[in-house]
Structures are given as structure tokens and as C-alpha cells.
């Protein structure tokens, strides 16, 4: 952006940042700041209003209608969709699957990440390789990950059965489908948490270990009385990020099992997708989306309460 002579002269009179020092800001400077502020923010604000704020409002409006793809029944029906969602066994089942997936995935995604980070942080040779092995999968698209693992889990030709023996149909047996998807997810995304732990480990003051050594504390003692407590804030961040990420699961389940067998792995996001884009019930899909949003909000608020309480200590 080129500056016009007028603008330069106007600013030459007194840049607002300096005027603020006097405690009093001339009206003209304030107006100029407002103009500049909105001009800088404008591109973001426009995109923000169009593609985030508006869909939120429009989605809520849709959820109050019986709108479907045919355009029929587009009048307001109040909270009827929400009532239906509350009585819909498929909503409850998908929510249950989502929560179950969240529990099953969060625990190993935190623990395995911690163990990997502790091991790599020992400074053993091969740092480059360890980081590559554990973090590289995180860079893959969900589709690539799913294709890899569909092949790994292939009952006759897959590596998993060839190593373990047997003919388990991992992805199509309702007893193993969820755990199989969880294993894939851990393989795929543990690298990110591993990285956060690794960064945090390198931040623990060296003196603490030196002092503990002088006091005669062994390595294991140091691990449990220094390292793990020092990592507590990081663990909290990781657990929260992980729960929020796991609640939003869709890609790998949709691609690997299609939500099956018989809906045994279908997460809530897939139910929103199917209601909106397969059954074309826009109004109802939007209502279910808002139920999903409510759960994310509850999880996020719980997170804020927990973190602020910790911060207050």
C-alpha cells in the first residue's frame, strides 16, 4: 500500500501512539485509529462474518425448520427437531460411540506420547530417526492413513493377521472395529502430543535434577518426583486438546469402517453428515449439529474452569 501525501502529513502532526502518552487523545487521532484498525482487520472480519458467523446463524435458523432438499416444509417449527434428536436412538448411539472413542483414544494418546518423549529425551543416538518415525504419520492425510490401515487390517492379506495369526475381520467385526480405529488413530496422531511433551521436557530446569542427584535420588525417583510433576501443566494442555480433537472424529472412521458394522463405530459428526447429505434433512441435521456444538462447548468450558483453577493455585 502506498501512502498518500495527505496521510503522511496528517500523521506527521502527531502519531496517535505518542499522543496517548499525554493521557488525552485528540478526536481526530482516535477517528484515524478506528479507521486504521478496521482497515487492517477488514479482510479477516469479512471472511469471518461470511464463512463462520453467518453459517452459525443460518445453521441455527435451519435447525428450527423442517427444511429438506426439496425445499418443502421450510417454515419454522420451533424446537421440534431438538425434541426429535433427544428421542432419536441413533443420536444417542453416535454420541455414545464418540465418547467411547474419546476415552479409548485419549488415554493411550497421552500415555504413549509421554513414554515416547521420555525415551527420546534420554538423548540416545538416532534422534533424527525417532522423530521421523513417531511424528511423520501425523503429517499424513486421514485418507492415506486409512488406506494404509485398511490394508494392514485386511483379514486374509493384511500384515496384522499375518503377524498375529488368525483371520480376524478387524474392521467389520463389531467387537474389534472400534479398537482397530483407535489403534490407527494412536499411530497417526500420537506424534503431535509426543512433540509437545518433548518441548516441555527440554524446558525443565537442569538444576532440579542436579539438586536431586546430590540428595541421592536415583533416576526413577527423579522421574516421578521431578519430571512427571513438572510436566503436569503440559499434560493438562495435551489432555484437553486431545479430548476436543477426539470428540470431532470423523475422517478415519468414515473411511475405514463407514461407521459400521451396523453403526457400531459411527461418530456424531458422521450422523450429521448422513442426515444432511444422504437423507437431505437439513433442518434436522442442523439441530444435531447444535447438539454436537453444545457438547464441545461444555467440554471447552470445563477446560477453562480447570485451567483457570490451576492457574490460580
Partner 1 sequence: MTTTEVLNRTEASTDRRVPSARQGRDKRKPLRPSSIIAFVILAILAILWLLPFAWAIVTSLKSEADAGATPVTWIPEGGFTLDAYTSVLSEGNIPQWAFNSVFTSVVITAVSVAISALAAYAFSRINFAGKKWLFYLTIASIIVPPQMLIVPLFYQMLAFDMVDTYAGIILPQLIHPAIVFILKQFFDQVPIELEEAARVDGASRMRVFLQIVMPLSRPILAAVSIFVFVGAWNNFLWPFIVTNDASLMTLPVGLQTVQSAFGVQYAQDMASAVLAALPLIVVFLFFQRQIIKGFATTGFGGQ
Judged by beta carbon, residue 47 or residue 103, the one nearer partner 1 is 47
Q: Which of residues 229-248 bind partner 1 (CB under 8 A)?
A: 237, 241, 247-248
- Give least dist CB 272 to partner 1, A: 7
- Give least dist CB 236 to partner 1, A: 12
- Give least dist CB 298 to partner 1, A: 11
Choose one: 44-52, 79-87, 88-96, 97-105; the region binding partner 1 (CB under 8 A).
Answer: 44-52
- Give least dist CB 97 to partner 1, A: 15
Verify binding: residue 224, partner 1, rule CB under 8 A.
Answer: no
Verify binding: residue 50, partner 1, rule CB under 8 A.
Answer: yes
Q: Rounded distance, CA 203 to CA 220, Å?
A: 19
Verify binding: residue 223, partner 1, rule CB under 8 A.
Answer: no
Q: Which of residues 109-128 bind partner 1 (CB under 8 A)?
A: 116, 119-128
Which distant-in-sequence residues (6+ apart) come within 8 Å of 251 by Cβ?
Answer: 142, 143, 146
Q: Rounded distance, CA 44 to CA 48, Å?
A: 6
Verify binding: residue 76, partner 1, rule CB under 8 A.
Answer: no
Q: Which of residues 179-218 bind partner 1 (CB under 8 A)?
A: 187, 192, 195-196, 198-199, 201-203, 206, 209-210
- Give least dist CB 174 to partner 1, A: 22
Q: Rounded distance, CA 205 to CA 127, Å?
A: 21
Choose one: 29-37, 72-80, 82-90, 95-103; the region binding partner 1 (CB under 8 A).
Answer: 29-37
8 A C-beta contact, residue 162 and residue 180: no
Q: Out of 106, 110, 114, 276, point to the residue binding partner 1 (CB under 8 A).
A: 276
Verify binding: residue 26, partner 1, rule CB under 8 A.
Answer: no
Site string for partner 1, 278-297 (x = CB under 8 A): ----x--xx--xx-xx--xx
Verify binding: residue 99, partner 1, rule CB under 8 A.
Answer: no
Verify binding: residue 62, partner 1, rule CB under 8 A.
Answer: yes
- Give least dist CB 59 to partner 1, A: 4
- Give least dist CB 144 to partner 1, A: 5
Verify binding: residue 47, partner 1, rule CB under 8 A.
Answer: yes
Verify binding: residue 164, partner 1, rule CB under 8 A.
Answer: no
Q: Binding residues for partner 1, how many (CB under 8 A)?
A: 111
DSSP of 80-103, one letter per residue?
Answer: HHHHHHHH-HHHHHHHHHHHHHHH
Q: Rounded distance, CA 55 to CA 75, Å?
A: 18
Amino acid at each position: 500500500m502506498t501512502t498518500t501525501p495527505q496521510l503522511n502529513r496528517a500523521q506527521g502532526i502527531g502519531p496517535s501512539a505518542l499522543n496517548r502518552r499525554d493521557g488525552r487523545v485528540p478526536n481526530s487521532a482516535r477517528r484515524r485509529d478506528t479507521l486504521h484498525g478496521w482497515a487492517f482487520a477488514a479482510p479477516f472480519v469479512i471472511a469471518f462474518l461470511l464463512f463462520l458467523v453467518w453459517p452459525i446463524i443460518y445453521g441455527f435458523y435451519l435447525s428450527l425448520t423442517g427444511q429438506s432438499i426439496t425445499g418443502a416444509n421450510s417454515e419454522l417449527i420451533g424446537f421440534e427437531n431438538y425434541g426429535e434428536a433427544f428421542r432419536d436412538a441413533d443420536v444417542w448411539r453416535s454420541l455414545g460411540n464418540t465418547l467411547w472413542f474419546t476415552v479409548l483414544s485419549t488415554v493411550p494418546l497421552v500415555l504413549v506420547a509421554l513414554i515416547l518423549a521420555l525415551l527420546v529425551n534420554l538423548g540416545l543416538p538416532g534422534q533424527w530417526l525417532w522423530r521421523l518415525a513417531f511424528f511423520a504419520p501425523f503429517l499424513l492425510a486421514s485418507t492415506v492413513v486409512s488406506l494404509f490401515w485398511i490394508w494392514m487390517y485386511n483379514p486374509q492379506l493384511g500384515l496384522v493377521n499375518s503377524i498375529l495369526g488368525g483371520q480376524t475381520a478387524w474392521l467389520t467385526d463389531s467387537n474389534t472395529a472400534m479398537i482397530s480405529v483407535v489403534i490407527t488413530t494412536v499411530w497417526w496422531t500420537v506424534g503431535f502430543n509426543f512433540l509437545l511433551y518433548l518441548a516441555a521436557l527440554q524446558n525443565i530446569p537442569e538444576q532440579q535434577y542436579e539438586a536431586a542427584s546430590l540428595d541421592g535420588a536415583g533416576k526413577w525417583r527423579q522421574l516421578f518426583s521431578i519430571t512427571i510433576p513438572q510436566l503436569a501443566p503440559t499434560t493438562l494442555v495435551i489432555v484437553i486438546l486431545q479430548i476436543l480433537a477426539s470428540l470431532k472424529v470423523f475422517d478415519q472412521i468414515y473411511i475405514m469402517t463407514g461407521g459400521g458394522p451396523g453403526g457400531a463405530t459411527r461418530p456424531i459428526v458422521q450422523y450429521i453428515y448422513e442426515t444432511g447429505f444422504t437423507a437431505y434433512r437439513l433442518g434436522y441435521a442442523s439441530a444435531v449439529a447444535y447438539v454436537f456444538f453444545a457438547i464441545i462447548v461444555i467440554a471447552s468450558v470445563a477446560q477453562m474452569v480447570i485451567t483457570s483453577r490451576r492457574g490460580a493455585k
